Structure 1
Amino acid sequence: MIFAAILAGGIGSRMGGTDTPKQFLTLGNKPVIIHTIEKFVINEDIDKTIVLTPKNFINHTNSLIEQYIGKNDDIIVIEGGQTRNDTLMNSIKYIEENFGIDDDSIILTHDSVRPFVTHRIIKDNIEAARRYGACDTVIPATDTIVESVNGTTIESIPVRDYYYQGQTPQSFNIKKLFNLINSLTEAEASILTDACKIFTLKDEDVYLVNGEVTNIKITYPYDLKLANTILEDKND
């Protein structure tokens, strides 16, 4: 089976000026998270879409889904975790307990606040995860990359041609991901905030899927303004 895990566990503290997590803010005429969920629900290859939210937003999320999408047994809302990796593990445990995991099980993990992911990106993620076991959606870095360890002076300026900006989805063979997570030491687990980094830490290849510059992550107030502009252009 193929699963999508929509990671909506954050509270959006960087958005500022609102107590509402950023994934529930309005984009166009509906919440950001609904735009995102819809992209995965309409994909015929995805069997179940699992949405992971803070516990106190589970009922609210279910209400929004029923309001904007309608009742759909293929959308499941469960509690996220304290960290991104905890949230990811919650999705895997749910899949294991309710559907089972076999050698062909695939999971696409996606930020709830990236509402402009395209069908092509999703399709390419599914194909790459099936073929290679792990993939990350990226776009080439356009700005010069500057490294500073102390935050005051430049340590190095690496060759930009070799650097990419990570987006999501990040997609994996579930059994492979589960085994790697369980192999982490406590020290390794404490510093990991990215699922692909788990693979690289264990010397496992992660293949690149081409993203889109419009596949933005809504983090700050300006991002929401930009997202509304992108949406208007898409609707013209």
Structure 2
Amino acid sequence: MERVKFYALLMFGGVGSRFGWEKPKQFYPIDELSKKTLLEYVVERFVRFEVFDKIVVVSPFEYLSETKELLRIYSSVEITTGGDSREHSVWNGINYLKDVASDDDIIVIHDGARPLVEKSIIEKSIESAQKYGTGITVINAVDTVSYSEDGIKIDKMIPRTKVFLHQTPQTFKYGLIKSCMEKQIDKIHMFTDEASILIASGFEVYYVRGSRTNIKVTTIDDIALVKRYTENS
């Protein structure tokens, strides 16, 4: 029997309009001395984890050449283009692997804007996906949480122990995520992550505990947090 293979899908498919810079956030230098970009830092980190049989980077079409140039030294990394939405980009990445991945292989889908993810979280998500088919990285809410229908007044309080915030990686058996996305393809732009696609398709989704250091770079101010961590690690 052929062994299960592990694939990483690194999502850099958006243009990061909220970041507030002249280019998408992945091209921002997070190391002032080496000028290493966020893109290079994340890819190098995943290569050094030595977990994956193949790493695929999803890039905006208009920045495909620049992405290839920055990653040219990583012969094991392949690049494909994103789509009109986050989930269209994920679908492009999943479809890119259709000729090499089997249904029981594991695909780890990770936001390129989360550069500080630890290897241990990735390994836990893979273990969960092998056991249950799914492994969604989450952290629990620590602030008081309320629900409002109109955004003006509180309709009800929600126990924060019951609220979990989704991160990445979101990890699946390849055949499962592919079939669920195919079912939802006509409305795939309406989903904000892969877990919600599986829920809509009628499948159970299991949690993996994440970390508060696994931050998502959304604005240029977040880069300072990443730099602080990388300088101290």
With normalisation by structure 2, the TM-score equals: 0.91
Aligned length in residues: 226
Q: Which one-letter code corresponds to 1:32 in the other structure?
A: L
Aligned to 1:65: 71
CA RMSD of aligned residues (A): 1.5
Q: 1:14 aligns with which of 18, 35, 39?
A: 18
Aligned-residue offset at 1:192: 1.4
Q: How does 1:11-90 map to 2 (within 5 A)?
A: 11-16=15-20, 18-28=21-31, 29=34, 30-66=36-72, 70-72=73-75, 74-90=76-92
Query: C-alpha distance in 1, partners of 2:102/2:185?
Result: 25
Aligned-residue offset at 1:91: 0.9
Provide the secondary structure at the position in 1 that maps to 2:156: coil
Q: How does 1:1-236 map to 2 (within 5 A)?
A: 1-16=5-20, 18-28=21-31, 29=34, 30-66=36-72, 70-72=73-75, 74-97=76-99, 99=100, 101-184=101-184, 186=186, 188-234=187-233
Query: C-alpha distance in 1, partners of 2:81/2:39?
Result: 15
Query: C-alpha distance in 2, partners of 1:185/1:138?
Result: 25
Give ranges in structure 1 of 5+ residues lacking alignment.
none
Query: C-alpha distance in 2, partners of 1:54/1:185?
Result: 20
With normalisation by structure 1, the TM-score equals: 0.90
Provide the secondary structure at the position in 2 that maps to 1:58: helix
Aligned-residue offset at 1:123: 0.9
Aligned-residue offset at 1:103: 2.9
Q: Which one-letter code corresponds to 2:174 in the other structure?
A: I
Aligned-residue offset at 1:202: 2.4
Deviation string, structure 1 residues 72-102 (Cα, Å, up to 9, x no partner): 1x200111111111111111111013x1x32
Provide the secondary structure at the position in 2 that maps to 1:26: coil
Aligned-residue offset at 1:233: 2.2
Percent identity, aligned pairs only, is 33
Aligned-residue offset at 1:203: 2.7
